[in-house]
Structure 1
Amino acid sequence: MLRGINGQIIFEDREDSIKLLETIKRYREESGYEIYGYCLMNNHIHLLIKEGCEELSTVFRRIGAKYVYWYNRKYNRRGHLFQDRYKSEVVEDDGYLLTVLRYIHQNPLKACIIKNIEQYPWSSYQEYIGKKDICETAFPLSIFSKDNKKAVKLFKDFHAKENQDHCLDYEDTFRINDLEAAEIIKKSAEIDSTNKVQSFDKEHRNKLIKEFKKKGLSIRQIERLTGVSFGVIRRL
């Protein structure tokens, strides 16, 4: 998993998400890894990867550097975008692979961004039930059945089951979800990108942060979305 530094937004619009997926696809061909699953959330990325000829640390460094260079140029910003170290765990058996895959695909559902898992456009779930792009879907589906049509049905049923899946001990649950919070920030500050709050003068920035808090955004949430430090927000 790759996370925005201080939980900062890393996908402002559709173009950003497409660029990241293109970057993953490009380095997949160069580094020889296989992608079994992915989900792009607004401030973090989940990837289920089988290592190829390069170590994962190198893979994530390549992907991160390429995307950050593009992102910084687009938004006229400088500095880091991702946290220094990606977070990972080893998947040692087929059963847990399916659990991780479901956890990844259900991230936007559990974050209350969508009501139906099929509605989310930025996860590999779409590749498993429709058109393949960057994912190697054959192996995970074969765990359900050798018959592809039956496997897809069982895959859907598996994802529809209620569960308490927890992977990497990470959850995104807030009183107001981050997409709603981002819209509140943009509307209140009259900006098109939440990280622009950092560039305002101190007085104006602090006034806005107080307004965000009054509208129900948590301190951690404001920190994630704007990049303003936790300490500054807490003191206001």
Structure 2
Amino acid sequence: MPRCQRIKSEDAIYHIMVRSISEISLFEDDKDKDKYLFCIKQYQEIYNFKVYAYCIMPNHAHLIIDSNGADISKIMHSINLKYALSYNYSHNRHGHLFQDRFKSKIVHNENYLITLSAYIHNNPLKVKGYENQPEKYKYSSLKTYLGLEKDSSGLLDETYLMNILDLNVGRTRKNYLKLVSLCNEEKWNKEIEFQDEKTEYRSERRVLIRDFNPEDILEFIAKETQIDKLLFCIRYNKKSNVVKALAAIMMRSLCNIKIKDICNILGNITQSTVSRLCTLGVNLISTNEEYKNLFDKLICQQVSLVP
């Protein structure tokens, strides 16, 4: 039976859930949880999406992601593939790690967003030792919303949700914690999943439009790296690999094109080569100071050109 087409929108906020196949835990220990958060952060730097809430449990994880104009399938495929490869290597195993595709549901209004965040933050109540204190669970964003700890990783964008909740007031934080404690599985199914959600949700968020011209990206990279554009189509050259890797990941993130289009632009290369170049591009941008701000610089440059 064919799978249903995923419902997506350029300006959507999503409730994302990922789960492991039944016989293993998705996260064996805290190191695995740290790795998954690191993967999210790494691709956040590439795709410029926002994370409003998260909770990492032993065999599944919940995220609220504002795609900010990016394709949510690209985002989650990148994160989950990188984590699965790392997990299999660390635990000396092979094969699938995640149960089917990730699940996604579009958040249509602010009431849904608030209750969804409470439901996600409620998850640690199922963990031994946290039955009455979910705010102490390390791998949840609740502690940040309650003002108990700042998000040192830079992963969480709490401002948007905090403005909706008005969590600058201590009493409001306590009320939110009460909501978290009350938002159990049964209430979630009855009050959230089956309520009318047809009203279109529009907010004051500014969404990044992903319609960059590939040629502009190639020109930008050539200028920033001071490497001739001719090298973009040369194979087996170190400098060529660098510029092609940067071009591949920036086109994957900012252009409304498919991988096969990137293959043609970069000299009729294979899709597997594009995937390898994207991995190299992620590593270059996340670890090399020379390339760290390329995305922000290109985006600012394009915005300044808009009349």
TM-score range, shorter chain: 0.5 to 0.7
Query: Which runs of structure 2 are paired with 1:125-144 in the superposition (5 Å)?
Result: 125-129=142-146, 130-132=149-151, 133=153, 134-144=155-165
In the other structure, the counterpart of 2:25 is 9
Structure-2 residue corresponding to 1:185 = none
Partner SS for 1:5: coil
TM-score, normalised to structure 2, is 0.51
Q: Distance in 1 between matches of 2:36 and 2:167?
A: 32
CA 1:90–1:124 in 2, change beyond 3 Å: closer, same or farther? same
1:77 aligns with 2:89: no
Residue 37 of structure 1: SS of its match in structure 2?
strand
Alignment pair present for 1:122 and 2:143: no
For residue 22 of structure 2, give the secondary structure of its aligned residue in structure 1. Answer: helix
Instruction: Identify the structure with bigger relative contact order (alpha carbons < 8 Å, sequence gap 6+).
Output: 1
Task: Measure how far apart 1:7 and its partner are.
Answer: 5.9
What is the CA-CA distance between 1:158 and the residue it aligns to? 3.0
In 2, Cα distance between the equivalents of 1:127 and 1:34? 15
Change (3 A) 1:168 1:12: farther
* Offset of residue 128 of structure 1: 1.6
Instruction: Output the CA distance in 1 between the equivalents of 2:181 and 2:29.
Output: 28
Q: Which residue is 1:155 aligned to?
A: 176
Q: Distance in 2 between matches of 1:168 and 1:82?
A: 23
Change (3 A) 1:98 1:57: same
Change (3 A) 1:54 1:27: same
2:107 partner letter = V
Deviations 1:79-124 (A, max 9, x none): 1101231111111111110111111111121466621112211111
User: What's 2:273 paired with?
Assistant: none
Aligned position for 1:165: 188
TM-score by length of 1: 0.65
- Alignment identity in percent? 35
Aligned residues: 169
Task: State whether residues 141 and 155 of structure 1, in contact with CA within 8 Å, keep that contact through their aligned partners in structure 2.
Answer: no
Give the whole-Å Cα distance in 1 for the aligned partners of 2:137 and 2:40: 19
Name 2:38's counterpart in structure 1.
22
Are the aligned partners of 1:142 and 1:148 in contact in 2 as well (CA < 8 Å)? Answer: no
**Equivalent residue for 1:46, pick from 52, 55, 62:** 62
Question: Structure 2 regions of 5+ residues with no counterpart?
Answer: 1-16, 195-307
How big is the shift at 1:147? 3.8
Residue 165 of structure 2 aligns to which amino acid in structure 1?
F
Structure 1 unmatched runs, 5+: 170-236
What is the match of residue 81 of structure 2? 65
Q: Which moved more, 1:106-115 or 1:136-145?
A: 106-115
One-letter amino acid matched to 1:51: S
Structure 2 Cα separation of the partners of residues 106 and 30 of structure 1 = 30
Describe the superposition over 1:122-181 as per-residue Cα deviations: whole angstroms up to 9, x where unpaired.
Answer: 111122222124111111111122746565344334324465123679xxxxxxxxxxxx
Aligned with 1:88: secondary structure? strand
Counterpart CA distance in 1 for 2:23 and 2:64 is 20
